[in-house]
Amino acid sequence: MRRRLVRLPVSSDSCRNARLPLRLASFCLVTLALLAFTPSSAAQSADPGPGFVLDRQDRTIVLEPYGPNILRVTMSTQKSAALAHPGYGLLGTPSSAGWARTQDSGGYDVIQSARMIVHVAPQNQPAPHAMPLDPLNQSLRHHYFGGFEPRHPPLNDTLSIATASGKPLLTMWTWAMAPNHSDPNAAGGQHPSPAGSRVSATFDSPADEHYYGLGQQQQGALDLRDHRIHCWHDYSSIGGENVCVPFMVSSRGYGLIWDNPSKTTVDLGFNERNVWSSEIGDNVSFFVIAGDNVDEIYQGYRQLTGVTHMLPRGVYGYIQSKAIYPTQEQALDIAKGYRDRNLPLDVLVVDFLNMTRQGELDLDPKRWPDPAAMNRQLHSMGIKTLLSVWPHFAPGTRFYDMLQQKGWLIRSSNGTPDSGSFSKEIGPNIDTTNPDAAKWWWNSIRDRYIKPYGFDYLWLDETEPDVDPYKDSFFIGSGARFYNVYPLFHTASVYDGMRRDFGDSRRVMILARAAYLGAQRNGTVFWSSDITSTWDMLKRSIPAGLNFTATGMPYWDTDIAGFFSPQIHAGYNPAHKPLVDPSDALGNVDGYVDYPELFVRWFQWGTFQPVMRAHGERMHNEVWSYGKQAEAILSKYLRLRYQLIPYTYSLAYHSYQTGAPYTRALFMDFPADPNVADIPDEYMFGPALLVAPVSEQGATSRKVYLPAGCDWYNYWTNERIKGGQTITAAAPIDTIPLFVRAGSILPLGSEVLNADQPPAIASLRVYPGSDADFNLFSDDGTTYAYENGKGSITRLHWNDQKQQLTHEGAAAWTEPDAAVIQVIHP
């Protein structure tokens, strides 16, 4: 059948309802094809419309631009599925402005913009095949083993994507759809889901390509090449919870969003191929974002999935928690302890088990006699509260029967609510994929916690959901088909409700354990779940966080020093003598004598996480809980965290503007340095600071690679060091190796006890070596007025030749410049 290339009409309503993002890969052979390109007699389209459709004999391929550097590719054996909108998570609008199509002399369909060129091979190109065997060998094998012909062979629609200059980005070699009869509860739910197909695509993987992102994997890898990624939420995964966000960034200059929310396996680099395979789908759908630099890729991700809103300014300070502060009296005592010690604190957590029964949506009055008075007192101290609200409803509680009758609980295949392996005291999850249930859920939280008691922020735990939905039904369809999307809906239920009821007057902050494409737009902070308090987990957590932020989710943190205590055996001794004296903390750490040292090292790293939060199952968990030696060090870093607020808050505004994270694996900022491709335990915190956490017990130094292309300053000593070399950095127990890139401006604030009020600029440190720019942002810290351009920006510029700093825009300090500007010299 002759191929036919037509325009794909998309209505404005379909643009508004479009949902899910895509996936990127690369292509090596496109350059020759580009050089050989000659337009055929096919007329170039002056107005190509929103997309292009290639009808083939038994399948349809759709190429749908979303901008000059963003392309969606969809393929299916059913034309309606190939023409379907993207899945949940996507907010972008298709746009073919500037795109055109032709056909080259080799019969390739060529679709191009000013940024990308796409070649799609002719339908009749030879299929991939193995090397030949002699006839007798072949007949013997066929007799005993059959013909090895797959029932559903991959479809040979080679598609290559390159930059406009011909630089190869990605090649998809084949794709496949095989009938799938394993979709549990396929006929259940209000919206029955057909079994669909198992869908996959195979891409090229050159030996020098590296991969980052894909949510949270806690096995210790940064570069995901040569790894199999189980891209689905798994609380019980070894090391710590896996969280699936199917967005990957390649070192070749593209990002790829895989548009499928079912369980997905990603094999990267094996046999020079990348294979993406999802259990259930009606099409193969992915997006490719090309970028001249990594931030341009994140700008495309932002365009497709939504902005990363700024958090309340206090959330960039310090959040104190443990599992659990069980009473109102204890919570107030903790807050008072910080203020009595003149230590900064912005948020105090009221964790799980605060209720009378799970699902009552109340606070136990025996332990919380007057929550409204507690919050008023905390607010008077400049401290906000973060309240944990679980989505479970136990049978026999006041809302259970209503929720069950309305079908607002996640249901198993027989229609009954699914509590998983939890006891009857926990119960099933509410199904917030149902818009009515989601609205009720928010209204209940608002009317039972926020309005009467004055709680500020919400911790939405169990957002996987933690009851495995594989054999269950959501309102939107089967749990197997939509396995990974619950976190998007559940966090949106609260974010949308707060914006609906409070408008722009009150910023949302949600702490959530799992994520999905687009969940960053819901005012969310994600954390690494319930990891174990060990040195090994500290080491693995660093690359886990770097890949999570590389996924386009800027806000991630850990429970400082882990959540679960390991089992400490009798006679336990650490590998080295503890660097922190535990003798005055043994009542808290028992036989885990190096735990105060671990807490200190983790706390130092936490100072340079997007959000800094201590949590975990300990008797006491405050900065004074691990002995006097530890307290002095922890207090030092807590104050440093608040000194950095002007810098950190400005970085957060930049993330809002661009979608780019400010906790950045080194590949992001030093793409020309091949040595940084797989350094899992160093990163940039904004444009200025290189952080190298210490994760070895007893270590007083560590190796640090300083990227090439600039000089570096030791933050603590001001020593200037040439880049492109590995050094041994001193790391006594009170020091985290910290370096400043030459050509940086680092604003530091005055001492404050909470960040709700913007700290005054105490100093502007300039680290010479090249010209530098920094935009210092400030606003009210609590509203969404910044979305309408409100707030102040001071543009700082350092002229290295003149050794002069100039500034324009809003006045950020009142003292003479000479009293604020500090030029660092070795």
CA distance 808 to 826: 28
Rounded to whole angstroms, the Cα distance separating 29 from 159 reads 11
The side-by-side arrangement of strands in the sheet containing 689-691 is 663-665, 683-685, 689-691, 738-741, 711-714, 720-722
Separation CA 112–CA 119 (nearest Å)? 9
Please state, as a whole number, how many other Cβ atoms lie within 10 Å of the Cβ of residue 389: 21
Task: Report whether 558 contacts 623 (CB < 8 A).
Answer: no
Catalytically annotated residue among 109, 241, 259, 461: 461
Q: Return d(Cα 501, Cα 497) in angstroms, integer.
A: 6
Which stretch of DSSP H or E encloses residue 587? helix 586-589
- 111: which 2 tokens? 């679709």
Q: What angle do CA 802, 803, 806 make, to 5 degrees?
A: 90
Q: Strand 477-478 vs strand 524-527: parallel, antiparallel, or unpaired? A: unpaired
**Between β-strands 711-714 and 738-741, what pairing exists: parallel, antiparallel or unpaired?**
antiparallel
Pairing of strands 612-614, 318-320: parallel
Using an 8 Å Cβ cutoff, are 427 and 393 in contact?
yes
Does 464 participate in catalysis according to the annotation? yes
User: What does DSSP assign to residue 171?
Assistant: E
* DSSP label at residue 522: G
Helix (H) or strand (E) holding 53: strand 52-55
| Tokens at 445, concatenated | 């939280």
Q: Which residue in 204, 241, 464, 557 is the catalytic one? A: 464
Element (DSSP H or E) covering residue 526? strand 524-527
Of 172, 157, 174, nearest in space to 254 by CA: 172
Would you call 58 a catalytic residue per the annotation?
Answer: no
- Cα–Cα distance between 484 and 155 in angstroms, integer? 27
Alpha helices in 83-231, H assignment, sequence order: 135-145
Q: Which of 241, 296, 472, 530 is catalytic?
A: 530
Q: Provide the 10 A C-beta neighbour count for residue 623.
A: 24
Alpha carbon 770 to its chain's center: 32
Facing residues of 117 across strands?
112, 162
Whether the Cβ atoms of residue 104 and residue 39 lie closer than 8 Å to each other: yes
Q: Which burial class, exposed, middle or buried, applies to 612 when counting CB atoms under 10 A from its CB (0-12, 13-18, 19+)?
A: buried
How far is Cα 122 from Cα 99, in angstroms, rounded to an integer? 20
Query: Can you tell me the distance from the alpha carbon of 291 to that of 288, in angstroms, rounded to the nearest whole number?
Result: 10
Q: What one-character DSSP code corresponds to residue 417? A: B
Round to whole Å and give the CA distance between 521 and 309.
Answer: 6
Strand 524-527 and strand 556-557: the pairing is parallel
Tokens of 714: 């030791």
Active site residue 530: yes
Single-letter amino acid, residue 795:
R
Per this entry, what is the length of the chain? 826
3-state secondary structure 335-351: HHHHHHCCCCCCEEEEC
Strand partners, 663: 685
Which residues are the active-site residues? 461, 464, 530
